[in-house]
Amino acid sequence: MKTDSIFYRLFQEFPSIFFELIGNPPETANIYQFASVEIKQTAFRIDGVFLPIQDEESPIYFVEVQFQPDSDIYLRLVSEISLYLRQNKRKNPWRGVVIYPSRDIDTGNKEDFLELFDSRRISIIDLDELGEAASLPLGIATIKLVIEEEDTAISTARELINRTQQAVNLQLPQKQLLELIETILVYKLPNLSREEIEAMFGLSELKQTRVYQEGKQEGKQEGRFEAKLEAVPKLLALGLTPEQIAQALDLTILQVQQIAQQTSPNQQ
């Protein structure tokens, strides 16, 4: 899964989620702009940088998303930050944030930088220790979907969609959030077809997303109906009822039941 691109998109479209993640008010995002920064004349690229807008007192946040063990990550991070500060001559204080899926991925050598960790100049966030998704703010719960196990990702995504639609005074753009949830699910379940992903979300929600609109155009090509029929057995195995599948794929319940009978392991 392309976690770097997922997190870049997440923080670019929903910067308030980052500030919630580090314990700051989400409104803090209003005075920041987010970018991926390449250090000139080096091979260094920082995953994400939150730069204060016309403010020399708020800190610059350097963000690294690390989903693979890397013993040199802190040496590299401090080097990148130092070079950036040298080249850009910013007067702002700075903070580093490293995001891991779980604590066991953190194999970095901290010995030379203990003061930075003790002072929380550099902080670490382990996504699996944030708590249950249902009890988290919607944005942070969406981040946790990235590390969800495959067998629970679909049900968690459904819960997130329901929360998004039912939320009162939702501060995040609903359509963009639905698209992000869908994108994460597509990355996590690459073996599912577009028809199956549509069924996971339910057409009423998915019709509003960019990915569905693209799929709608593709659906004019030959083979659309056959692709729907091929999706039925997988969706049944994932626990959807024939009624849910029929509604999601625009099939009749009879068609779904016929496919179910043909693929039943008890069929003679």
Q: pLDDT confidence of 158, banded at 50, 70, 90?
A: confident
Q: Is pTM, for the whole model, over 0.95?
A: no
Give the residue, 172 or 206, on which the prediction is more confident.
Answer: 172
Tracing tokens 């729907």 back to the chain, one arrives at 228
Beta partners for 125?
Answer: 99
Indicate whether 233 pLDDT > 60: yes
Q: Are 163 and 23 in contact (CB under 8 A)?
A: no
Q: pLDDT confidence of 40, banded at 50, 70, 90?
A: low
CA distance 199 to 256: 13
Give the residue, 221 or 127, on which the prediction is more confident.
Answer: 127
The mean pLDDT value for 196-217 works out to: 55
Q: Are 229 and 259 in contact (CB under 8 A)?
A: yes
Average pLDDT, the chain: 82
The mean pLDDT value for 81-109 works out to: 92
Percent of the chain with pLDDT over 70: 83
CA distance 195 to 80: 43
Q: What integer pLDDT is reported at residue 203 of this predicted model?
A: 41
Q: What integer pLDDT is reported at residue 265 of this predicted model?
A: 56
Indicate whether 61 pLDDT > 80: yes
Q: Are 3 and 65 in contact (CB under 8 A)?
A: yes
The secondary structure of the chain, three-state, reads CCHHHHHHHHHHHCHHHHHHHCCCCHHHHHHEEEEEEECCCCCCEEEEEEEECCCCCCCEEEEEECCCCCCCHHHHHHHHHHHHHHHHCCCCCEEEEEEECCHHHCCCCCHHHHHHHHCCCEEEEEHHHCCCHHHCCHHHHHHHHHHCCHHHHHHHHHHHHHHHHHCCCCCCCHHHHHHHHHHHHHHHCCCCCHHHHHHHHCHHHHCCCHHHHHHHHHCCCCCHHHHHHHHHHHHHHCCCCHHHHHHHHCCCHHHHHHHHHHHCCCCC
Indicate whether 250 pLDDT > 80: no
Radius of gyration from C-alpha coordinates of the chain:
22
Q: pLDDT confidence of 208, banded at 50, 70, 90?
A: low
Indicate whether 209 pLDDT > 60: no
Indicate whether 162 pLDDT > 70: yes
